Chains A and B, each alone.
Chain A
Amino acid sequence: DSGVTQTPKHLITATGQRVTLRCSPRSGDLSVYWYQQSLDQGLQFLIQYYNGEERAKGNILERFSAQQFPDLHSELNLSSLELGDSALYFCASSVGDGRFGNTIYFGEGSWLTVV
């Protein structure tokens, strides 16, 4: 158990809908990361927040957004869902912002299926 908690674990929704994935980082960790894992793209970095502020951005679609709240939990919002958004979405956390190669611990992921 990495200590990173993600909900829901599984989600099935229809195209065009909007979903919110939630993440609680490990106790004491200030950075939260979101990654997407799909068969065709592999593991892709989406976005990083550090202590409430956006720190780095990857190839995150405009239909996707995220935020980190004062209690450090984070939410990833996916809207206007398409079939291609079906993937395993990971949240991860680390103590620092990564500049010293902090170990990044991953949650169990949220399986999203768009039908």
Chain B
Amino acid sequence: AQKVTQAQTEISVVEKEDVTLDCVYETRDTTYYLFWYKQPPSGELVFLIRRNSFDEQNEISGRYSWNFQKSTSSFNFTITASQVVDSAVYFCALSEAPPSYGKLTFGQGTILTVHP
């Protein structure tokens, strides 16, 4: 069965600190997709990134970066120079195996609080 574990339930940092959110997944599939979503206090789920299992290249988008390591089944998310607006719950998710391609298995989420 698919499983996603986000070890950190809550993280608290001061603005401008770098912070890394960990995500470890379990799957028997060779082809799968990983996602990160952000849920700000207003409640909506905001898509951040999608990565397929064959692309282990790290990705950077502004202050956000993602480190995908298939050997350790991890897909970690780093925010550089954090800002108060980054305060949110962050979810890592894994796509299901066929035929339920569209079903995402979510981790429990990491609550990130950035203090001014």
A: residues with CB less than 8 A from B are 2, 31, 33, 35, 42-43, 45, 48, 50, 55-56, 58, 88, 90, 92, 94, 97-109, 111
Contacts and interface: CB of A to CB of B under 8 A. Distances in A.
B47 A105 contact: yes
B44 A98 contact: no
B75 interface: no
Contact of A45 (B46, B50, B104, B108): B104
B101 A99 contact: yes
- What is the interface residue range for chain B against chain A? 20 to 34
Interface of B: 32-33, 35, 37, 42-47, 50, 52, 91, 93, 95-96, 98-106, 108-109
Contact of B102 (A2, A90, A97, A111): A97
Nearest to A9: B43
26 contacts: A2-B46, A33-B102, A33-B103, A35-B104, A42-B109, A45-B103, A45-B104, A45-B105, A48-B100, A48-B102, A55-B99, A55-B100, A56-B96, A90-B45, A94-B102, A101-B33, A101-B101, A102-B102, A103-B50, A104-B104, A105-B47, A106-B37, A106-B44, A106-B46, A108-B44, A109-B45
A45 B37 CA distance: 15
A101 B52 contact: yes
Contacts of B32: 101
Contacts of B35: 103-104
A42 B93 CA distance: 12
A109 B101 contact: no
